[in-house]
A and B are shown apart, each in its own frame.
Chain A
Amino acid sequence: MSAPIHIQPGETFTLNVGPQHPATHGVLRVKLEMDGEYIVHAETVLGYIHRMHELMGENRTYPQVLPNLSRLDYLGALGYTHGHVLAVERASGIEVPERAEYIRAITVEMNRIASHLFWFGAFVMDLGGFTPLMYAIQDREYILDILERVTGSRLTYCYYRFGGLYNDIDDEFIPATKAFIPRMRESLKKYDALVTGNIILQKRLKDIGPLSKELCRKYGATGPVARGSGIDFDVRKNEPYSVYPEFDFDIPVYHECDSFARYKVRMDEMEQSLRIIEQGLEKLPDGPIMPAKKPKLIKPPAGDYYQAVETARGSFGIRIVSDGGKNAYRFKLRSPTYSNMHLFDEACEGMLIMDALALMGSLDLVIPEIDR
């Protein structure tokens, strides 16, 4: 259905999808040149929610930037703050106690599940089914309740600190998380039966929205988008950080390159995250959550530092160039969906608008994160 079409010049019309449109989940604007229901040319326009996070990172001291990172991707905020603290810790050589790293890994994985759950619901809503969103939100709320008890907030967390954590987990965290794992497995089975197996959904996603391996490489796509196109890359495995080498988990990779492959990657990732949480709770060591010796003022020695982490949307990189001062000289964020989104312009040419918006949903775009 997405074979390229040939039309005469002057027969097309322009359709503005966004900045206010139900399918873009934010303020992304897509300028579509259409021939009937077929897309001839697409252009994504950014800049409606630019907040200069990189410049703010250069104007403020290192601890003052902490809350900014969770405002990038509001659905999987912990992954981004994790990248930030790891980068600054690497730059200034702060040792992190093992317990803190374990708690970080567990909470990041929980946040990843929450993020994928919300994506799942919103994606199915893009395809016209509203009820799975509500079921997904029920499970997500459970995660947010657990995280709220530990971190104090539900969405834009500011929990990790350089060297450790803001505070230790409470008594309820471990039993609540242990209760959550079987509940989530049960829910995943439900989603499988209700949505994944559904013939309407399969017809809408299978062989729709092909993103070839080359296209993904060309635009630097990472995360579930790349893994759905057969690129076996996950920062947690390929450039291990934190305590991830201690865990036994798989990276789901699908070679079909279609929207359904990306869907399956995310659904399988939730199961893998559950495995990581399970192992993390088992191995969680006792001990302090902050290092005994920590510089009072964070002043990394002059140099260039880079840290990549795997967030729910792909590889998030943070580069800090320090001139030895208490502010960063250059604070560069490499956000995964920025690369993932730009695939869309090229990939959707010749597609029907319905399929193109299904493809856009499968990219899992979070606009504030693209437009930092």
Chain B
Amino acid sequence: MSLTVLNAIIAVVIAIGFAALNAAYLVWAERRGAGRIQRRPGPNVNGPLGLLQPLADGAKLMTKQLMIPGGADKALFMVAPVLAMAPAIMSFVTIPFSDVIVAKSMDVGVLMIFAFASLGSMSILFAGWSSRNKYGVMASVRAVSQAISYEVPMLITVITIVMMTGSMNLHDLAVSQAGGFWHWNIIPSLASPLMPVSFLIFFICSLAETNRAPFDLGEAESELVAGFHTEYGSMGFGLFFMGEYANIVIGASLITILFLGGWGCPFGLFPSVFWFLLKIYLLIATFIWIRWTFPRTTIYGLLNLSWKILIPISLFNLLLTAGLLKVF
């Protein structure tokens, strides 16, 4: 019993460390990447290549005063940033980084991650509502309607994959794709000819779920100032920021496990954690690349995309796969 508790504590500490480190250095990567895309150097003063910039930022955020606006709902206002960070860290517990590196392999791992992902939109709602700011309320309402409409096609896509594999365990999902890239779920097979489309749908949905551009309506700075975290400063803002990047890592991990063969090598040799990390960071680089290329969608454009395009196509794919699985 005590060993299990110890196990869990170690897992959580590692998860927090991994999430925090990722958040800090993904901000750096994002700023450097954006700089290169815009033909400027990005942060380059603190340390070699600006590598100490996240430390400076962290020190700055932590030393600032935590302001609570007058008339705010204090309890919710304080809980919201924690709620943004905590589910993201919890989700790490069940993600298998390789055959052996996994804190807790669960049979309902996929469901658990989605359950925690929904909690994330709760924190946005809390933040916007409690800060007594009109911009914040508008942004949080947007973010929630966005989260609801994008979870649908995302889950339908996952159902398709779960149906093909017959398991909801992330470990099993990854193992079923082992042995070279031609076994990966993204490659269309006889039973699932529309898999690349599914991948695209899932990718778009994870962009929307993590509130990334071009779907960052919750923090559309040109109309809603800073969206739901307008009133947050200091580490409250820092936690939202870290939560966002932790969510990106989870989104990328999920895509990797569901579609890109998890920790498997593309050529079927030496499966290891190295391949997993390579894949998720390539996906994150794509996220950053997309963010600095496109303008933001509108709220109705976003909902139209989900309800008129993503959901019908993913439903069609689900039915098609179900039918073909019966045939083959």
Contacts and interface: CB of A to CB of B under 8 A. Distances in A.
B39 A128 contact: no
B225 A13 contact: no
A167 interface: no
Contacts of A131: 34, 37-38, 292-293
A20 B293 CA distance: 27
B295 A204 contact: yes
Contact of B214 (A22, A125, A128, A134): A128
Contact of B298 (A13, A126, A204): A204
Given A200-B294, A200-B295, A128 B222 contact: yes
Interface string A120-141: 0000111111110011001000
A201 B301 CA distance: 11
A34 to B, nearest CB: 8
Contacts of A354: 220, 223, 298-299
A253 to B, nearest CB: 26
B301 A203 contact: yes
A64 interface: no
Contact of A125 (B138, B222, B298): B222
Contacts of B134: 13, 15, 34
B38 A135 contact: yes
Contacts, number: 79
Interface in A27-55: 34, 36-37
Contacts of A17: 223
A129 B34 CA distance: 12
A32 to B, nearest CB: 10
Dominant SS at the B interface?
loop
A22 B225 contact: yes
A128 B295 contact: yes
Nearest to A125: B222
Interface residues of A, number: 33
A128 B213 contact: yes
B308 interface: no
A21 B38 CA distance: 24
Interface in A123-176: 124-131, 134-135, 138
A316 to B, nearest CB: 27
Interface in B131-149: 134-135, 138, 142
A203 B296 contact: no
Contacts of A21: 225
A126 B222 contact: yes
B298 A355 contact: yes
A128 B220 contact: yes
Contact of A200 (B223, B225, B296): B296
Interface string A2-31: 000000000001010100011100000000
B216 interface: yes
B105 interface: no
16 contacts: A15-B134, A15-B135, A37-B299, A125-B222, A126-B222, A127-B222, A127-B296, A128-B213, A128-B294, A128-B295, A138-B39, A198-B294, A198-B295, A200-B301, A203-B301, A357-B222
| Top 6 closest pairs, chain A to chain B, by CB | A128-B296, A129-B295, A134-B38, A127-B295, A126-B222, A128-B295
Given A138-B39, A200-B296, A204-B301, 7 more contacts: A37-B142, A37-B299, A128-B214, A129-B293, A131-B34, A195-B295, A352-B300
